[in-house]
């Protein structure tokens, strides 16, 4: 076989995982691996930006898992500052913004996610910040440093998903007063309402303003054209900074313009090998793709570095000739706001309804440690379970330190198609510093299985 | 049906769970529930004793989940200070130490565990303490309070299982210098040696003496006959207190003397409904029974409140006429010493060998949080996996805060008969304050599945 070229568009998690995996399997004499990255960084942790802004992480470099130079030393040709402008699927050629062209045998598109930006007047004003790339973090940090010193700074965060919550937390941590403005009735829309209410109460308990069910009409600007507040259908909120946490869709414009098939979620339509369903030498990975739900098989879009890494590795394997499949997602998510840890996995009530399941929901409260052990904190577990079969469909966990990671037990049980009864019988660990005699996850499962037996 | 009587011997986890469950299902007009308890407490947490000694738990009462009076208010007749001396299985009658007799229709034996006490000279001396009942905790606390104030106190802990480790930790926390003396080559015998070595190193790093591979010859006594040291085949260790953490066997002497079948582990031989295999109206639950391993089906003895509770509930259900089964144990255990959290589940290497599995072991190191996030600590995960099938057989986890409870993910995966590949694909949570992009548990599973594919 003559030497082939894998061309990768996008040098973050999905793209670099694919590049590295293909390189691991095929030597440079067999496969040339070329990456086009529009920015200056590769393999960076966008998820770490809030904590960098919050001063918990030392520097920008800490968020870069592997630099372009490190990739190059591993035999991957990385072109930073090189934005792919067009893909010619027939000619197998990509044209960059600077006019250079790159031919390929295999193409991997990893253009990532696109932060949701509704058509609101003033959203492009200086002082309005996304939380997407490391430069965004740099800009927010600079804006905080430039705040007037004669009064506390004020921030408005638009959106109550996990980026919104994390930014609200770190901005407060940096001394700003924070208002979170949501179009939804509650923060964390992937939780059921009863659990979302607890999150909302915790945020208010931290002293944040949480303004729900409000449609943003305008970002207000001062005489210099700089953002100075947000006007909604119900009020006006002053701001030195406006931060966007309105969610993330797939960035599939380049793929779509080239004529690649796009799925119902707006992501690039790929099969479980990450291969385009319409063009067999084109693959895609990461936040730009449409993936599928492990439980239902339904199309899904979840922007998360973990999936991007796995998908990239699958694509890289397949391109290099080794079989691999991506097994789908459960929508597991974990975050925190203040001392409240928030985890969810599988189907929430709305998703279970949409998927047509006959199901029940149960909420159980407990403590994170033995009740008598110092630092025992409240924890609530909600389970969504298929009626009749008792099969676990989804779970949500809220509580103090140690609560959040318990969602992994639920994710594992759901992944393994276990029933609530099986989970209740399973041998989960017990020691006073870590849980009561029965971990609350097992208690919740027992409550379900007892109810299911009638 | 005429009113029947359930007689329960032993008022701790196993006994009271059975009593309470039977009472829940059957009213007092149908079933009389009578409990004989030799001590003054019911439903207490022996697992909490170390932390009470350590001053982390306020008082003795905090360790009592439910007092005799609370049980009585729920329609259970509790006789404290009443030690069952003999059981007449033919006459269905129990005789107490004070000569009273109690007839029964159903008998539940929950006599608990018996701390291992090897025949060592001086082991009965004042100043030698078990860690079994609340009175033990009281006595240790009194002994610490009575220590001379002109020099630091000294404790020798015999045994390096979890009670030994926890007692060593809390005694050090109370200001004593601590020597741990083991017959085994390493502490935590249910870990593989490579993991046990890490525990040993951590204990030494805390400033404890850890003296392994030493046979205790004698507890030394002062002129008053009080313990003042421990002599082994290799040395002598001064002590104001000697604490026994040599493990726990089943306390089945009463059952054995009555003629009940005893299993190979020394525990009462019961089926999965907790019914004696030799006497159909006799049940047993808790640390006194022989149970079975969920993976192998082999007989097992594990002394743990969680199992006692579950087994008691199963027995109470079955006695009350409702079908129930105990699903066995994986031997999941969790503890900590200092800042090192220690979890294990399923089969360790020795157990996998004994069970005849063809297996592989893999150890993976990582961090508990994203490497750049404050408080990220080291974590090591060891997996034992069946060769060929890739089925998970066992797991061990060591590391800093947040490491230990990850053993529950492994316990759940093993319970659900998942393969390493399935676990590696599963959707475990990610957020920088909680784990790196891939949780180390998933990384370990991936390493195994990659190696298995060859």
Nearest to A304 among B309, B430, B439 (CB): B430
Measured between alpha carbons, how far is B206 from B204 in angstroms, rounded to an integer?
5
Q: Are strands B282-284 and B106-109 parallel, antiparallel or unpaired?
A: parallel
Residue of B330, B398, B414, B427 best to disrupt the A interface, most CBs of A under 10 A: B427
Measured between alpha carbons, how far is B357 from B351 in angstroms, rounded to an integer?
9
Q: What are phi and psi of B17, to 5 degrees?
A: -65, -40
Determine contact, residues A282/A92, Cβ cutoff 8 Å. Answer: no
Across-strand partners of B380?
Answer: B365, B398
Q: Tell me the mean pLDDT in the region B367-390.
A: 96
Q: A416, B418: Cβ pair inside 8 Å?
A: yes
User: Is residue A426 less than 8 Å (CB to CB) from chain B?
Assistant: yes
Rounded to the nearest 10 degrees, the angle between the axes of helix A305-319 and helix A13-25 is: 30
Q: What is the mean pLDDT of chain A?
A: 96
Over residues A118-163, the pLDDT tens digits come to: 999 999 999 999 999 999 999 999 999 999 999 999 999 999 999 9
Partner B, chain A 90-149, Cβ-Cβ below 8 Å:
none
User: Is residue B236 less than 8 Å (CB to CB) from chain A?
Assistant: no
Q: B370, A426: Cβ pair inside 8 Å?
A: no
User: Is residue B206 less than 8 Å (CB to CB) from chain A?
Assistant: no
Residues with Cβ within 8 Å of A150's Cβ and at least 6 positions away in sequence, in order, are: none
Task: Give B433's contacts in chain A (Cβ within 8 Å).
Answer: 51, 336
Residue of A327, A432, A433, A444 best to disrupt the B interface, most CBs of B under 10 A: A432
User: Is residue B375 less than 8 Å (CB to CB) from chain A?
Assistant: no
Rounded to the nearest 10 degrees, the angle between the axes of helix B305-319 and helix B13-25 is: 30
Measured between alpha carbons, how far is B403 from B379 in angstroms, rounded to an integer?
6
Helix, strand, coil content of chain B in percent (nearest 5): 30, 30, 45
Task: Give B405's contacts in chain A (Cβ within 8 Å).
Answer: 402, 405-406, 429, 434-435
A47 catalytically annotated: yes
Nearest to A372 among B57, B304, B333 (CB): B57
User: Is residue A450 less than 8 Å (CB to CB) from chain B?
Assistant: no
CA-nearest of B371, B5, B274, B301 to A47 is: B371
For residue A122, the distance in angstroms to the closest alpha carbon of chain B comes to 31
Question: What is the end-to-end Cα distance of chain A in Å, rounded?
Answer: 65
User: Is residue B447 less than 8 Å (CB to CB) from chain A?
Assistant: no
Measured between alpha carbons, how far is A409 from A389 in angstroms, rounded to an integer?
19
- Find the radius of gyration of the CA atoms of chain B: 23
Q: Which domains does chain B have, with CATH numbers?
A: 4-114+249-319 (3.50.50.60), 128-246 (3.50.50.60), 339-453 (3.50.50.60)
User: Is residue A46 less than 8 Å (CB to CB) from chain B?
Assistant: no
Tokens encoding A267: 């992501």
> Measured on CA atoms in the order A16, A20, A26, A28, is the torsion positive or negative?
positive
Tokens encoding A376: 């025992």
Residue of A412, A424, A449 best to disrupt the B interface, most CBs of B under 10 A: A412
Measured between alpha carbons, how far is B357 from B388 in angstroms, rounded to an integer?
11
How high is the ipTM of this complex?
0.95
Task: Give B379's contacts in chain A (Cβ within 8 Å).
Answer: none
Give the confidence band of B32 by pLDDT, cuts at 50, 70, 90.
Answer: very high
Determine contact, residues A397/A381, Cβ cutoff 8 Å. Answer: yes
Apex A330 CA angle, A53 and A420, nearest 5: 120
Q: B433, A336: Cβ pair inside 8 Å?
A: yes
Q: A370, B45: Cβ pair inside 8 Å?
A: yes
For residue B338, the distance in angstroms to the closest alpha carbon of chain A comes to 12
Tokens encoding B439: 């949780």
Q: CA distances (Å), A194 to each of A253, A337, B300, in order?
A: 37, 17, 43
Q: B430, A56: Cβ pair inside 8 Å?
A: no
Q: A430, B374: Cβ pair inside 8 Å?
A: no
Q: A411, B429: Cβ pair inside 8 Å?
A: yes
* Four-point Cα dihedral A132, A138, A143, A145, nearest 10: 140
Q: What are phi and psi of A232, to 5 degrees?
A: -115, -175
Question: Which residue in A47, A228, A288, A348 is the catalytic one?
Answer: A47
pLDDT at B146 over 60: yes
DSSP state of B276: B
pLDDT at A454: 56
Chain centroid to Cα B175, Å, comes to 26
Measured between alpha carbons, how far is B44 from A95 in angstroms, rounded to an integer?
73
Measured between alpha carbons, how far is B306 from B312 in angstroms, rounded to an integer?
10
Task: Give A429's contacts in chain B (Cβ within 8 Å).
Answer: 332-334, 343, 345, 404-405, 407-408, 411
Q: A412, B430: Cβ pair inside 8 Å?
A: no
Nearest to B408 among A56, A310, A428 (CB): A428
Q: B330, A56: Cβ pair inside 8 Å?
A: no
Q: A422, B437: Cβ pair inside 8 Å?
A: no
Q: What are phi and psi of B243, to 5 degrees?
A: -115, 135
Measured between alpha carbons, how far is B348 from B358 in angstroms, rounded to an integer?
13
Give the confidence band of A99 by pLDDT, cuts at 50, 70, 90.
Answer: very high
Task: Give A12's contacts in chain B (Cβ within 8 Å).
Answer: none
Q: What are phi and psi of B420, to 5 degrees?
A: -60, -40
The 3 state secondary structure assigned to B39-50 is: CCCCCECHHHHH
pLDDT at B171: 98
pLDDT at A453 over 90: no
Measured between alpha carbons, how far is A36 from A81 in angstroms, rounded to an integer?
8
User: Is residue A406 less than 8 Å (CB to CB) from chain B?
Assistant: yes
Across the beta sheet with B84-88, the strand order is: B84-88, B93-96, B101-103
Nearest to B416 among A162, A422, A441 (CB): A422
pLDDT at B454 over 70: no
Measured between alpha carbons, how far is B352 from B354 in angstroms, rounded to an integer?
5
Over residues A311-362, the pLDDT tens digits come to: 999 999 999 999 999 999 999 999 999 999 999 999 999 999 999 999 999 9
Measured between alpha carbons, how far is B208 from B323 in angstroms, rounded to an integer?
50
Compute the half-sphere exposure of residue A254: CA atoms within 13 Å on the CB side of its CA: 26
Task: Give B454's contacts in chain A (Cβ within 8 Å).
Answer: none
Q: What are phi and psi of B341, to 5 degrees?
A: -95, 140
Tokens encoding B400: 């800093």
CA-nearest of A38, A254, A34, A14 to A133 is: A38
Q: Are strands B227-232 and B236-238 parallel, antiparallel or unpaired?
A: antiparallel
Report the greatest alpha carbon distance in chain A: 69
Specify the residue for token string 């973990």. A306
Nearest to A412 among B57, B326, B413 (CB): B413
Tokens encoding A350: 């709305």
pLDDT at B1: 57
Specify the residue for token string 């309070």. B145
pLDDT at B452: 81
pLDDT at B11 over 70: yes
CA-nearest of A194, A142, A190 to A164 is: A190
Nearest to B428 among A408, A416, A435 (CB): A408
Tokens encoding B115: 């701390």
User: Is residue A45 less than 8 Å (CB to CB) from chain B?
Assistant: yes
Measured between alpha carbons, how far is B264 from B427 in angstroms, rounded to an integer?
41
Measured between alpha carbons, how far is A75 from B98 in angstroms, rounded to an integer?
84
Nearest to B334 among A310, A328, A431 (CB): A431
Following DSSP, what letter does each residue of A51-96 receive, concatenated?
HHHTT-S--GGGGBSS-HHHHHHTT-EEETT--EEEEETTTTEEEE
User: Is residue B408 less than 8 Å (CB to CB) from chain A?
Assistant: yes
Residues with Cβ within 8 Å of B410's Cβ and at least 6 positions away in sequence, in order, are: B345, B346, B381, B383, B392, B394, B395, B397, B441
Partner A, chain B 306-325, Cβ-Cβ below 8 Å:
306-307, 309-310
Q: B428, A437: Cβ pair inside 8 Å?
A: no
Q: Is A99 helix (H, G, I), strand (E, B) or coil?
A: coil
CA-nearest of A135, A121, A87, A353 to A225 is: A121
Q: A408, B409: Cβ pair inside 8 Å?
A: yes
């Amino acid at each position: 076989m003559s030497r082939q070229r894998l061309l990768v568009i996008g040098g973050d998690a999905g793209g670099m995982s694919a590049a590295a995996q293909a390189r691991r399997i095929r030597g440079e004499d067999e496969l040339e691996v070329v990456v086009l990255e529009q920015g200056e960084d590769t393999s960076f942790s966008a998820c770490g930006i809030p904590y960098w802004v919050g001063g918990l992480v030392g520097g920008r470099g800490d968020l870069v898992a592997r630099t372009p130079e490190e990739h190059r030393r591993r035999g991957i040709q990385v072109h930073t500052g090189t934005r792919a402008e067009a893909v010619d699927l027939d000619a197998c050629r990509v044209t960059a913004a600077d006019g250079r062209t790159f031919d390929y045998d295999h193409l991997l598109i990893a253009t990532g996610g696109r932060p949701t930006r509704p058509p609101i007047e003033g959203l492009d004003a200086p002082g309005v910040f996304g939380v997407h790339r490391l430069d965004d973090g740099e800009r927010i940090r600079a804006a905080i440093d430039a705040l007037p010193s004669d009064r506390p700074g004020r921030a408005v965060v638009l959106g109550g998903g996990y980026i919104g919550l994390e930014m609200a937390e770190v901005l407060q941590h940096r001394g700003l007063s924070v208002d979170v403005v949501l179009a939804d009735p509650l923060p964390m829309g992937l939780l059921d309402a009863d659990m979302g209410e607890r999150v909302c109460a915790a945020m208010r308990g931290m002293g944040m303003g949480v303004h729900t069910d409000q449609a943003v009409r305008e970002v207000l600007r001062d005489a210099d054209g700089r953002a100075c507040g947000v006007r909604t259908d119900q009020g006006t909120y002053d701001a030195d900074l406006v931060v966007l946490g309105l969610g993330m869709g797939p960035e599939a414009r380049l793929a779509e313009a080239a004529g690649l098939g796009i799925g119902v979620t707006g992501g690039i339509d790929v099969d479980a090998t990450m291969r385009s369903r319409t063009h067999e030498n084109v693959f895609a990975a990461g936040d730009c793709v449409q993936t599928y739900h492990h439980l239902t098989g339904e199309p899904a879009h979840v922007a998360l570095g973990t999936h991007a890494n796995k998908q990239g590795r699958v694509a890289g394997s397949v391109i290099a000739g080794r079989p691999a499949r991506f097994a789908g997602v459960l929508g597991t998510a974990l975050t925190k706001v203040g001392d409240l840890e928030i985890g969810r996995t599988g189907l929430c009530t709305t998703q279970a309804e949409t998927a047509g399941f006959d199901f029940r929901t149960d909420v159980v409260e407990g403590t994170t440690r033995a009740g008598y052990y110092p630092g025992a904190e409240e924890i609530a577990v909600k389970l969504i379970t298929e009626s009749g079969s008792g099969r676990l469909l989804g779970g949500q966990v809220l509580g103090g330190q140690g609560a959040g990671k318990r969602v992994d037990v639920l994710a594992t049980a759901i992944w393994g198609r276990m029933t609530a009864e099986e989970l209740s019988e399973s041998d989960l660990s017990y020691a006073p510093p870590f849980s009561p005699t029965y971990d609350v996850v097992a208690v919740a499962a027992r409550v379900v299985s007892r109810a299911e037996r009638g």
